[in-house]
Every structure is written in C-alpha cells, then in structure tokens.
Amino acid sequence: MTTLDLRSRVVAPRQVPLAVMVAAMSALALVCAVGLLSDDRTVLGVSVWLEPLKFAVSFALYGATSAWLLTLPHRGSRWTRAMATVFAVTGILDVGFIAVQAARGTFSHFNTSDDAVNTIGQYVFMTGVPGLFVANLVIALILLFQRVGDRPLTRASLMAVLALAYAGLLAVLTWQAFRGQPLIHPDALTLAALGGLLAATALAVRAVRSRAEAGQQAGPP
C-alpha cells in the first residue's frame, strides 16, 4: 500500500464551518417561517420572508449533505476543507443580506437603490456568488477524481457529480437573470443550456458507475 493510499484512507476532520452554517440557516428558516405567519408586508405581491426562507432551507440542506460527504475518506481533504469554509462563510454573508433586506421590507437581488446598506449588500452579492460557485466547483472536482472502488468513495463521486450539476444550474440561472429573463419563462437558449446540463450530468453519473464496476471487478491491488 502506497503513502497516497494511506492518506486517502484518513477520515477528513469534522466540517465545523459547514455545521455552523447549517445551524445558522436552520435558525433563520424558523425566523422566516414565523415572519410568513405574522408579518403581512409584501414585495411584488409576495411575502418579504419567502425569499430568505427558500435560501435558508436550500443552504441548510446542501450544507448538511456537504458536511457529511466531506467526512468520507478522500484525497485533497485540506483543499476541500478550505473550500467548504469559503462556501460556509460566503453563504452566511449572502443569505444574511437577503434576510436583512427582508426585515427592511425590500428585495435584495438587482436592487439599484443607493442607500448604504443596499450598496454594501450588492457588493457582497457580486463577490459572493462567484465565491460560492468556485468553492463548490473545486470541491466537486476533487471528489469526482477519486478512486471509486470503495462504496463510500463511489457515493462521494456521485455526490460530486450532483454538486457540479448544482454549480452548473447556478451558473445558468445567473446567466438567465443577467439577461433580464423571468425565471419561470426561459427562452429556447436557456432551455438548451439546461438540457445540456441534464445530459452531461446523466453521462457523468454513468461514467462514475462504470468506473466503480470496473474497480470492483479488478479487485484490490
């Protein structure tokens, strides 16, 4: 057994930043749920608390899944731990700003108001969204290129594919938003991009499964 094999079997340390993010998002989700029931303010006909609630739930679920995934033995754990910290800190800042804007009774995305809070928040968005994307992409790529003969690493690689798909979806939706296109009314170009992403994800899942089957047939070195 090589040194690299030994290192790959070391269990990654607990993902404390992600755990903190999950706890913060869970608490925020509860606050937003209460806000939905007790606060009748709306923005564009929708409760001001609906958007932060959706983001809080999404980040809590994704963070919990990622925290579990990164405890599996894998190469490059220092990098994944660092990127997980970037993702957690950036996620807290971004979703925190969305919650602040909700509490102020206004919207967060594409808000052109020149007040100080909004100006700072828009800067957070401009720097935070690329940070989330890059951190997620690096983690996914590291996990994707692992030896997948072992069942836990096979699951890790499959989760990495899903993480890449999530990053791709985020990129497509951001591109759609920058073109001023409603989320629920995508044009043919956006639909083509989403279709390509779906096809690429399916092919990647198949490739991981094929590698795992080949590794199991080959047996241990």
pTM to 2 decimal places: 0.71
The residue segments making up the domain with residue 210 are: 3-218
For residue 213, name the pLDDT band (cuts at 50, 70, 90). Answer: confident
Nearest-5° angle of CA 196, CA 201, CA 205?
150
**Tally of structural domains, the chain:** 1
For residue 5, name the pLDDT band (cuts at 50, 70, 90). Answer: very low
The tens digit of pLDDT for each residue in 196-207 reads 988 888 888 888
Cα-based distances in Å from 61 to 33, 65, 147, 173? 16, 6, 26, 19
Q: For position 4, what pLDDT does the model report?
A: 38
Rounded to the nearest integer, the mean pLDDT of the chain is 80
